[in-house]
Amino acid sequence: MIYLAIICFLSLTWWYRKCKSEVITYWPILADLPSLLQNAHRVNDWLVEVANMYGSTKLLRGPFFAPMDYLLTCDPRNFDHIFKTNFSNYPKGQGYNKVFDILGDGVFNSDFDRWHGQRSLDRTAFMSNKSMISTLCKKMVEEELVPLLSSFVKISSAVDLEDIFLRYTFDLIFVAIFGRSPKCLSKDFPVHEFARAMDDALEAIFYRHVTHSLWWKLCRYLRVGKEKRHQNAWKTIDRLMAQYISLKKEDLLKEGHQQTDLLSSYIQFQKEKNKYSSDGDKFLRDSVLGHLSAGRDTTGAALSWFFYMILRHPIVEAKILEELNDIYTKSSNFENEQIPKRPWVFNPGDLKGLVYFHAALCEALRLHPAVPINRKEALREDVLPDGTKVKPGTTIILSVYAMARLECIWGKDCLEYKPERWIDENGKFRQEHMDKLFAFGSGPRICIGKDIGLTMVKTAVAAIVFNFHIELVKGHNVYPKPSLVLNMKDGMMVQVKPRFA
């Protein structure tokens, strides 16, 4: 008995040490699932550790009693193959559709012919409203964002800058879609039930990714936990979407009433194409809901991390400010002004030629992609460029976050924030590096709102850097929270001071 106890003790000691030394520990029956669950709260950094220990592609096995195998990859060659070269073999898949069921049949949750049709409509809608959104960006920054930040200068109070950015992107995309403002950038910081419902739904969808479908489906059936909040959020979103669609139709019936917003464009598409008439308001709801979520959450996250990196690197901020000063001094009224106009908001078009500014944004997107993980499903058997064999039905997890942190891809300084890596010896932007930047996806499914998102981010950042001096509150730590979108766990607390007294 003593020998048996010693053997058991040594075996448990060996197993404990093995678990501590391994990034992924294989468990009998459960396979790799416990490792995934144990690291769900830090899944992005865990995927970096997986890549560093096992290579840029790794098969993560699920329990034998329920298929849950994932192929993890952060190899840019595989990304290019999946997003472009063999695009037709890697749709979102049925698993994705079930997890993101709240999005309905919109472009984010569709494949094949339905996706092609929806994508074509989206492209037309975005192109016809592009100038409107650009004008709206400057108007929102000038009339809402800058005055709000100015109010915090006067009271010298700390503020959560990430919260302000999410309110800015929500207000802006809401106006662009519905033609009316939810006024979330008001000084009293109102909680909009649509935004809160979207947050609840996204939180539940994230945990659907890191638990087995049998479990979250059981929770959904029982209406407990995050699934209960998801169902309540769904009801709220449907109710509000029906309300806004009804109001928009009433607006369009008014004589001489002209509308320039995305929802009006989709209503027009519905009138022109009879095949959408049978769907009623569901077509309209599904068409704009994904854009509302992406425009608010992903753009807000990109804006927040970009500004955080600027605050952490004063030299970068100084170089951006130098470029902005050059633009400002070239403005038509500057020479006639004895006292420079403050605050000043730049035209979005004037910011497009700023090389360092754009490089700094791309570097922030490299290290902190708003959507750190993408998901695909293989239709047919295939071999990836790195030699990995893919079976039909395999779920592939593509980590954009981990790709940015591999020396074999970005060099030994991969963890550093260096906008200079995007600029060549002639001061030109290195366009070839864009082949390794998948923050907006790539290929046929590249983010259709990419240019709009960049405009929203640049217009806000330029105005804030030029008019204010922002400082992080001492002792406040900024780090990602477990989510599908790379938001900040405890926000970004800052002090707002005037750039020029």
- Point out the annotated binding site for heme: 447
DSSP states along 108-161 = GG--HHHHHHHHHHHHHHHHHTHHHHHHHHHHHIIIIIHHHHHHHHHHT--EEH
Per-residue DSSP letter, 348: G
The CA distance from 458 to 303, in Å, is: 8
At 159, which amino acid appears? V
Max CA pair span of the chain: 96
Count CA within 13 A, CB hemisphere, residue 256: 0
Phi and psi at residue 157, in whole multiples of 5°?
-105, 145
**Contact by Cβ (8 Å): 14, 2:** no
Q: Which of 212, 215, 174, 216 is nearest to 193 (CA)?
A: 174
> What are the strands of the beta sheet with 493-498, ordered from one edge?
159-160, 493-498, 468-472
The CA distance from 122 to 263, in Å, is: 11
The CA distance from 285 to 240, in Å, is: 10
Positions at the binding site: 447
The CA distance from 302 to 486, in Å, is: 8
Count CA within 13 A, CB hemisphere, residue 423: 13
At 208, which amino acid appears? R
Q: Which of 258, 256, 198, 236 is nearest to 483 (CA)?
A: 198
